[in-house]
Amino acid sequence: MALPDAEQTYAALADRMRGAIAFDAKFVGIYSGGAWLAERLAQTIEGDHPVGYIDVSFYRDDFDRKGLKPEVKRTQLPFEVEGATIVLVDDVLYTGRSVRAAVNELFDYGRPARIELAVLVDRGGRELPIEATYVGARLAVARDLSIVLSRAADGRFAITAEAGGA
């Protein structure tokens, strides 16, 4: 399976977002890949787009089976969620469960006016009725592989495939 070049995919995503998102959209990145992307998008896309970070550990639907992951980061939303236009940012959209958790969590902070979803890679395999508003690239991936985004020391992104689903 051929993996797309991460930097090119990122550029494609940013292009699709530029001019389409609201001028006052706030980026909320889902840790960790989504957080990196949100930070870079805020720099790449012109305009004032504050960045928040969200850890969905407390809202996941697999807690009963898997427990909390060893490291739970702090959700930081340095702006008012009430009435905000938010672009939720994640690296890979797969089953849609992380996004569902993130949306539920955002609603515990306030009632946003609107939430859009931006993802670097959409790999299909949805288990919930969720779609991304902005997509960098679409991929067909075998169930037993994960698509992983990494960030080098100089900030450049890379996409790899690893064994182990999701």
Partner 1 sequence: MHNPQLNAAGELTHLLTLEGLPAEFIVRILDTAVPFVSIAERDVKKVPLLRGRSVFNLFFESSTRTRTTFEIAAKRLSADVINLNIGVSSTSKGETLLDTVDNLVAMNADMFVVRHSQSGAPHLIAAHLNRTGRAHVHVVNAGDGRHAHPTQGLLDLFTIRHYKKDFRRLTVAIVGDVLHSRVARSLIHGLTTLETPEVRAIGPKTLLPTAVQSLGVHVYHDMREGLAGCDVVVMLRLQSERMRGALLPSPGEYFKHYGLTAEKLAMAKPDAIVMHPGPMNRGIEIDSAVADGDRSVILPQVTFGIAVRMAVMSILAGG
DSSP β-ladder status, 157-163 and 145-151: antiparallel
Q: Which of 67, 78, 129, 164 binds partner 1 (CB under 8 A)?
A: 67
79 binds partner 1 (CB under 8 A): no
Between CA 28 and CA 8 the distance in angstroms is: 22
Nearer to partner 1, 108 or 131 (CB): 108
128 binds partner 1 (CB under 8 A): no
- Minimum CB–partner distance for residue 164 and partner 1 (Å): 17
The C-alpha R_g of the chain, in whole angstroms, comes to 15
Among positions 90-119, residues that touch partner 1 (CB under 8 A) are: 104-105, 108-110
CA distances from 17 to 1, 23, 110 (A): 27, 11, 24
Q: Which residues bind partner 1 (CB under 8 A)?
A: 55, 57-59, 63-68, 70-76, 104-105, 108-110
